């Protein structure tokens, strides 16, 4: 669990470890979408986007705040058993908040096509071609058993791109060490109202709204 604290004499906030949360903690909030709920149609319809954002993501945010408050109380009491018992809720709801916050920016009504510049060169270097990359990420995402995510991440130690799958709401960086660049939500709530149980059709459609500018920006930032 992380929280933001303002330090005297500094203009920004600093992320600190859990014990610091005994001093002060700002509650997490649901981020606004950078587009209207219907902006991604016909690929993802407005009803899905509204429910996904205002109900599902909002629930992760609310439950994360509740879990963090309980964790704060457990820390204050020195109740290690309660701290341990809250870890699954922190991981699930914290991951849900992290993942969806990335996901919304990874999509755009002006998306689709192929990336350009350094990201495209890296994709060609690490996967052979954009077509190979697209096929591999699609296959990994289709293959997620139950609910989860397909990811394109950056391995900072090896200096290369990697594809990974995460179960449930496990956050990519927190569970694999890879820096998230592009996430594809394959929970049924992300597509069922439009694509029923045919996940491959949803995955075929989502490539039409991938925001490569956002993915490229994330790639440039993680290389600094």
Q: Which pLDDT tens digit goes with each residue over 90-99? A: 999 999 999 9
Residue count of the chain: 224
- Whether 17 is covered by a domain: the verdict is no
Residue 22 lies in a domain: no
Task: Give how many domains the chain has, as a whole number.
Answer: 2
Do 187 and 210 reside in the same domain of the chain?
Answer: yes
pLDDT of residue 3: 41
Task: Find out whether 56 is annotated in a ligand binding site.
Answer: no
Residues 97 and 126 occupy one common structural domain: no
Backbone phi, psi, residue 4, to 5°: -105, 130
Q: Do the annotations mark residue 53 as ligand-binding?
A: no
Q: What is the dihedral of CA 91, 195, 32, 101, to 10 degrees?
A: 30
Q: Which pLDDT score is estimated for 223?
A: 86
Claim: this prediction has a pTM higher than 0.75: yes
Cα(45)–Cα(15) distance, integer angstroms: 37
Q: Is 185 annotated as a binding residue?
A: yes
79 is in an annotated binding site: no
CA 66/CA 86 separation, integer angstroms: 10
pLDDT, tens digit, 9 for 90 and up, residues 113-142? 999 999 999 999 999 999 999 999 999 999
Domain range for 57 is 46-106
| pLDDT recorded at residue 24 | 56
pLDDT tens digits, residue range 178-212?
999 999 999 999 999 999 999 999 999 999 999 99
pLDDT given for residue 13 in this prediction: 35
Give the pLDDT band of residue 224 (cuts 50, 70, 90). confident
């Amino acid at each position: 669990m992380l929280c933001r604290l303002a330090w005297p004499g500094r203009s920004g906030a600093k992320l600190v470890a859990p014990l610091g949360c005994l001093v002060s903690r700002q509650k997490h909030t649901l981020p606004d979408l950078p587009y209207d709920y219907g902006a991604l149609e016909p690929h993802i319809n407005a009803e899905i986007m509204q429910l996904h954002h205002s109900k599902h993501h909002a629930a992760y945010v609310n439950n994360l705040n509740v879990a963090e408050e309980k964790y704060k109380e457990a820390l204050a009491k020195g109740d290690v058993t309660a701290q341990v018992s809250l870890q699954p809720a922190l991981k699930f709801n914290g991951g849900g908040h992290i993942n969806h916050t990335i996901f919304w920016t990874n999509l755009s009504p002006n998306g689709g096509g192929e990336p350009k510049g350094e990201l495209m060169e890296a994709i060609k270097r690490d996967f052979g071609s954009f077509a190979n990359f697209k096929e591999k990420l699609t296959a990994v995402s289709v293959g997620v058993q139950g609910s989860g995510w397909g990811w394109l991440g950056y391995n900072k130690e090896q200096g290369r791109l990697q594809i990974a799958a995460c179960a449930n709401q496990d956050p990519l960086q927190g569970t694999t060490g890879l820096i998230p660049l592009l996430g594809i939500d394959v929970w049924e709530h992300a597509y069922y109202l439009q694509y029923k149980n045919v996940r491959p059709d949803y995955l075929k459609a989502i490539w039409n709204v991938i925001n490569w500018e956002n993915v490229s920006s994330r790639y440039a930032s993680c290389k600094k």
